[in-house]
Amino acid sequence: MTANLYAASVPAFQQMLKNLSSILTKTAAHAEAKKIDPSVFVNARLAPDMHPLARQIQMVSDTAKGAAARLAGVDVPSMPDTEATLAELQQRIAKTVDFLSSLKPEQFEGSADRSVELNVGGGQKMTFKGATYLTHFALPNFYFHVTTAYDIVRHNGVEIGKRDYLGSV
């Protein structure tokens, strides 16, 4: 049986991005109710050497759109990392979901064996077969940053729980 990488990636990316959007909506409401400057959340981080919420969401977006584009054999859309407000982060998520919605399952045919090459910094490259790239690199990276964004928001007092993270399945 041939792996269906569209089914294994795009719907999962879309669901978690929508869940993350809902979490940001709750974050904005919490900030307003508690009279907290929303930038406190945007710039919050779990540890001094970790990225803040804004960067976590940018990396969620980058991972989803990058993985889907590479597996579909299309150009990865460019999105400058300039978001500095909860509203701008929401727009970033919406643009990512829109891109994912533009992809068709047929574009992923043969992607399990397609070669995927990434530049990982310092001139270093990693090369994967599509199925390995998705299951051993892209999905774990995606969920890491979604979870870290969730944890930052929860750690800063927003009343969210596992159902917010999972959304409706």
Mean pLDDT by 10 residues, the chain (169 residues): 84 98 98 98 97 98 98 97 98 98 96 92 91 97 98 98 91
Evaluate whether 140 touches 148 at the Cβ level (below 8 Å): no
Task: Measure the N-to-C terminal CA separation of the chain; round to a whole number of Å.
Answer: 25
Check residue 147 and give its pLDDT: 98
Check residue 1 and give its pLDDT: 42
Residues whose CB is less than 8 angstroms from the CB of residue 19 and which lie 6 or more positions away in sequence, other chains included: 146, 164, 165, 166, 167
* pTM to 2 decimal places: 0.95
In angstroms, the CA 108 to CA 147 distance is 27
Evaluate whether 89 touches 54 at the Cβ level (below 8 Å): yes
Check residue 3 and give its pLDDT: 67
Q: What are the pLDDT digits (tens) for 64-87?
A: 999 999 999 999 999 999 999 999
What is residue 43's DSSP assignment? Answer: T
In angstroms, the CA 73 to CA 49 distance is 35
Check residue 88 and give its pLDDT: 98
In angstroms, the CA 63 to CA 119 distance is 13
Decide: helix, strand or coil at residue 49.
coil
Domains of the chain, CATH where assigned: 5-166 (1.20.120.450)
